[in-house]
Amino acid sequence: MPVFRILNEERFMEKGSFFDKNRLIMNKTKMVVGIDISKDEFHACIKVLTESGIVKIKGTRTFANDYQGFELFLRWVLDRQKGVGSLSFVMEATGVYFEDLAYFLHSKDKLVSVVLANKVKNYAKSLNVKTKTDKVDSKIIAGLGIERSLEQWKPMSPQYKKLRDYSRELLSMKKELTRAKNQLHALNSSHSKPKGLLEIKEKQIMFYQDSIAQIQSLLHKAVDQDLELKEKLEKIQTIKGVGFETSVHIISETNGFELFKNIRQVVSYAGLDVEHRESGTFKGRTKISKKGNSRIRQALYMPAMSAARTNKPIKALYERVCEKNPNIKRKGVVASMRKLLILIFVLWKKNTTFEMNYQWAPIEIGE
């Protein structure tokens, strides 16, 4: 009986049966849902790559950015999936507004990709699309998913997400505190300042200071609950210039470096990779891309300034870069930021402490 079944299957394959053709078509077809999302709603566009290589639009529609909208959206998509081989959802990383939908789709075992805004923008430029509406953007995002092989999105672990939320609020509060102090200084230096306004500004500063202290306390409590995490963070803090808050910022923003396989990926994610601009005899300025996580760069700036004075390897790197670029000392700071990030990545992956006399290869320090 098994032999008969095998012979029959081979005969059907030779003749090109309906069932075999259908299976081949299913493997070749691809359905991508492009999503342009905002605070209150999102616009979706379904595109299908047919077995003949033609891309067709199967529908466009707007949904509410809430759970009821998500349920309605998924039913709308699944009704149009019949006869399609693969289904994936692609959305733009728009602030935090994409997160609820991404988590919802992931909970339903759907393939989700989240792409940076600059990637969508550059793709749209390649298509020479000048119109910008939600409907057009969703079509562009769906087209990107059809043409490119995108990485699958995975949610952060609850622990890292909590740390990330605390860290982001802490960075925001510190930024506001600095702004308020500068405003108070300007008021004090101005002629005939209103007394009531000074009191309001001083109260505002006190509010920020109290809020920062509360968030710092919550951050320490969250880390203390995970002894393994606390131990690894303490090893990172053996790098001179890197304190508790910096180590938490970097680890939470990268989800514990879970998806990063090498140093170049980490540097690129932080937007600290170098862009070269050359064409024929033209040689443009070399600078960092800044196409990545700006909060990582924000968290590394002051530690890099400190490390450039107190950490021997980073100080040597800083001085070497500044010697090559005497008029642009900021390049030395950027190089220090990059090396600090690489050090944090390596120590985290190896679960070890910092060695001052470790010999770094040029590729490792990003020179």
Domain ranges, ordered by start, for the chain: 22-147, 226-365
Quick: pLDDT tens for 245-304. 999 999 999 989 887 888 888 888 888 877 655 555 545 566 666 677 888 999 999 999
- Please give the pLDDT value at position 210: 97
Does this model's pTM top 0.85? My answer is no
C-beta of residue 272 within 8 angstroms of C-beta of residue 297: yes
C-beta of residue 98 within 8 angstroms of C-beta of residue 271: no
- Please give the pLDDT value at position 283: 56
- Please give the pLDDT value at position 72: 96
- Please give the pLDDT value at position 360: 55
C-beta of residue 95 within 8 angstroms of C-beta of residue 41: no
Low-confidence spans in the chain with pLDDT less than 50: 1-26, 282, 363-367
Element (H, E) at 222: helix 195-224
* CA distances from residue 243 to 60, 304, 312, 320 in whole angstroms, order as listed: 49, 11, 17, 25
- Please give the pLDDT value at position 358: 65
- Please give the pLDDT value at position 258: 83
Cβ-in-10-Å burial (0-12, 13-18, 19+) of 104 comes to: middle
Which residues, in sequence order, are bridge partners of residue 279? 282
- Please give the pLDDT value at position 4: 37
Which ranges in 29-133 belong to alpha helices (H)?
A: 67-78, 99-107, 117-126
- Please give the pLDDT value at position 1: 43
Question: Is 22-147 assigned to CATH 2.60.40.1120?
Answer: no
149: nearest Cα among 122, 115, 117:
115
